[in-house]
A and B are shown apart, each in its own frame.
Chain A
C-alpha cells in the first residue's frame, strides 16, 4: 500500500545515498507528503494508521539518525493539533501535505537566515574553528567572508570519515583562507581561535547538543581557553524526545571506518566508532537559529513553542506514573 516512490526514498536514506541532517529531514518530509497524496481510502482512522506506518518506515531507515525523527515530529505534531478540527480524509491529507511543504520551505530558508544572523557575530580579523562538515556553520562563515570580513578558518580533519577535507575544499573554492589540522591538535591551536562554530544533529531540551563525535572535546577545550563556542542549528533540530532528559542513543558505526582490515585479525583488539557525542549546555555560549540567537538554557522554550502540548502530555504522564 505504501507507494513505490516512498519505498525507494526510504531505501536511499538507508543506503546513505541521501545524507546530511538537513537533506535527510527534507527527504522524509517529501516522503510523508507523497504518501498522503497517494492515499485513496476514505476512512480517517485507516488514514491515520497508514500515516503511522509510513512514519515508522521512514524513521527506521536510520534508527539512530537524530534529525530524522525531528522532521517527522515537526509534521505529525502539527497534524495532530489539526486533527481536533479534521473530519474527512481529504482534510487530513491536506494537513499533512501543507505541513510537509511548509517544513521543506522553512528548512531551506532557515539555513540562509542563520547565515545572516550568525555572520553578524563575526568580526574582521577573527580566526574561526569548525569541526566536521556543517552546511549551516559554513553558511555563517562564508557569509561573513563575503561581507568583506577578513577571517581565517581552522578546519579539523574529523576522523574517521575526514569530512574536514570537504569543508576545507568548500572554503577554498570560496577563497576563505583555511588551515587544516588533525583532531589531536585542537588544544594546541585553541589560543589562536576567537570563535568556534559548529553545526548540530539534534539539541536536547536542556540545551545539550548532539553533533559529530569530537564536538564536545572541542567545546571543552574552548571553554578552558575562554573561546566563544557557537552552535548553528535550525529549530527543527530541537528534539522533543528529550524533554524528560532521556539520553539520545549514540550510533556506533562500522569499525572499518577507523582502521584497516589487519586490525580485525586481533581477537583482543576492539574498535569503537561512535558517530556523535553530546556537548553539555554549560560549554555552549549561544545557539544561532533562524529565529534569532538563543542561549542553550532557552532550548526548552523553543520546544514548548513547537511542541507545547507534547511536553504537557509527557509531564502529565510522568506525574501520574509517579503517583501510582
Chain B
C-alpha cells in the first residue's frame, strides 16, 4: 500500500473548522476538492479506504452545524461507492471530477435561484441590513443592482472574525453604497433599515436558523423595529437531524481569534467565551428563501417531509463509509 501525505488536507480541514473559510458554500467546495484529490491520488482501493473515511468525517466534524457540508459529503461518498462497485477504482478516478463538478453546479444553481428570488424582495432605493459574509446574500444584492435598483447596504463588522468587513469590500466593488459599524450599533442603525437578509449554516426542522453568532441579535432588533427578516437557504441546508429543535451543536471560537494580542497576557485568568454560531428562533424570521420559493419557517417540516419522508429517514455518512470499507475488503 502506498502512503499519501494528507497533512496539507488536514490543514484545510483546520482552516474550515476555525472559520478561516467562513462561507459554508466555499467550505463545501474545498471539502469536495480534498476528497476528489484523495480519490485521484489513491493507487488502490485499500489506500483509498485508509484515508478517505477519516478525512470525510473530519470535514463534517469541522463544521458541525453545516447541513450543506454533511449532505454533500454523504452524497459524494455515495456516488463514489456506486462507482467503485460498478467499475472499481479506475471508474471512480475517471468520473470523480465530474461528480464533484455536478454537485458544485447543483449547489451554485440552487444558490442562484435563491438569490434571484431574494432579489425580488429588494425594492429600488431600499436599505438592506445583512450580517457576516455570505455568497448567496452577495449574489442577491448584485442581482438587484444589475436590475438597476439603487441599494444601500448596512453591515455590522461581525465580530469575532469581522467577516462583515470582507463583505463590505466586495459589495462596494460591485456598486452598492455600504455603511459599516460595530455590532453594538445594530439597534441604533435599525431605524433606517427596510429589509434584513441573512444567510444560514443550517435550517432546523422548526424553522430556526443557525448562522454566524450575532445573527439572532440582528433578527431580534429587526423584530422590535418591525423590519422584515429573510433567511436565504437552499433546501440542502435543511437539516432533518434536528428534530430536537434548537439543539444543533454549536462550535466555539478560539479566544485569541478575538482578544487583541497585546492584552492576552494582561487578561490571563479571564475566561473567554466566543461561540461561532447562534440560533435565530422562527418567530423572528418572516420567510426562508429557498430555491423552491419563499417558505414560512413553520412550513419547513413540509419540505423536510418531501425530501426525507416522514418520519424522516436520515441517510448517514457512517453507513456510506462502512460501505466503502466493505468494498475495500476491510469490514
Contact = CB atoms under 8 A, between A and B. Distances in A.
Given A217-B187, A269-B169, A187 B216 contact: yes
B296 interface: no
Contacts of A169: 263, 266-267, 270
A312 interface: no
Nearest to A275: B185
Interface in B254-306: 258-260, 263, 266-267, 269-275, 278
A146 interface: no
Contact of B182 (A177, A183, A185, A224): A183
Nearest to A212: B184
B275 A185 contact: yes
A269 B178 contact: yes
B267 A172 contact: yes
B15 interface: no
A34 to B, nearest CB: 37
A178 B217 contact: no
Interface string A156-187: 11111010010011011000011111111111
A271 B185 CA distance: 12
Contacts of A168: 267, 270
Given A188-B278, A269-B178, A277 B272 contact: no
B165 interface: yes
Interface string B39-54: 0000000000000000
B168 interface: yes
A171 B271 CA distance: 12
Contact of A180 (B181, B212, B271): B271
A189 B270 CA distance: 16
B159 A277 contact: no
Interface in A224-274: 224, 250, 258-259, 263, 266-274
B172 to A, nearest CB: 4
B184 A259 contact: no
B274 A277 contact: no
Given A162-B260, A182-B274, A187-B220, A274 B213 contact: no
A18 B301 CA distance: 58
A10 B315 CA distance: 71
A239 to B, nearest CB: 19
B221 interface: yes
A180 B273 contact: yes
A189 B273 contact: yes
B270 A185 contact: no
Interface string B202-215: 00000000001110
A214 interface: yes
Nearest to A165: B263
Interface residues on A, range: 35 or more
B210 to A, nearest CB: 11
B33 interface: no
B175 interface: yes
Given A162-B260, A259-B165, A263-B165, A277 B185 contact: yes
B271 A272 contact: no
A158 B179 CA distance: 19
B253 to A, nearest CB: 8
B17 interface: no
B273 A159 contact: no
A35 to B, nearest CB: 37
Contacts of A213: 182, 184-185, 188
Contacts of A177: 271
B271 A179 contact: yes
Interface string B132-172: 00000000000000000000000011111000010011001
Interface string A205-222: 000000011101100110
Contacts of B183: 159, 182-184, 214
B248 to A, nearest CB: 13
A214 B181 CA distance: 11
Nearest to B268: A172
Contacts of A189: 273
B273 A185 contact: yes
A180 B181 CA distance: 21
B168 A269 contact: yes
Contact of B157 (A159, A172, A185, A267): A159
Given A188-B275, A213-B185, A259-B165, A271 B180 contact: yes
B175 A268 contact: yes
B278 A187 contact: yes
A268 B176 contact: yes
5 contacts: A172-B270, A186-B217, A188-B216, A271-B181, A277-B187
Interface of B: 156-160, 165, 168-169, 172, 175-189, 212-214, 216-217, 220-221, 224, 258-260, 263, 266-267, 269-275, 278
Given A188-B213, A272-B180, 6 more contacts: A168-B267, A182-B159, A258-B182, A259-B180, A266-B172, A269-B178
The 9 A-B pairs at the shortest CB distance, nearest first, are namely: A214-B184, A184-B214, A268-B172, A159-B182, A217-B187, A179-B271, A277-B188, A272-B181, A184-B183
